[in-house]
Homo-oligomer: A and B are copies of this chain.
Amino acid sequence: HCRTNYSAALRMKWSLTYGKGRCSCIDKGSDFIQQKQKALGKIEVIPKSSSCDHVEIIATLKPTGEQKCLNPNSKWVRKMVTALVKKR
């Protein structure tokens, strides 16, 4: 019981310190996603703003619509987004 409280508190603290508390993602996000590009519904890039002090990248996966935060510092993530935009 104590462990779940601790990790929840950590997530809470992490999200408050991580980006002024109004970011969409509560942690830095995944460095990559296993799913194939076909399973990618869309990628949202949210610029840093007054409510969140860093860029956020959120993938929406098909067919479930599951949303997954991706780490904007990850080379893999940046390459994937750039490649998507170039693949017209």
Contacts and interface: CB of A to CB of B under 8 A. Distances in A.
Interface of A: 37-38, 40-49, 54-55, 57, 72-73, 77-78, 81-82, 84-88
A12 B88 CA distance: 22
Given A41-B46, A43-B45, A46-B42, A55 B81 contact: no
Copies in the complex: 2
A42 B47 contact: yes
A42 to B, nearest CB: 5
Contact of A87 (B43, B48, B85): B48
A88 B37 contact: no
29 contacts: A37-B47, A41-B46, A42-B44, A42-B46, A42-B47, A43-B44, A43-B45, A43-B47, A44-B44, A44-B45, A45-B45, A45-B81, A45-B84, A45-B85, A47-B87, A48-B87, A55-B84, A55-B85, A55-B87, A55-B88, A57-B85, A72-B85, A72-B88, A73-B88, A78-B86, A81-B81, A81-B85, A82-B82, A82-B85
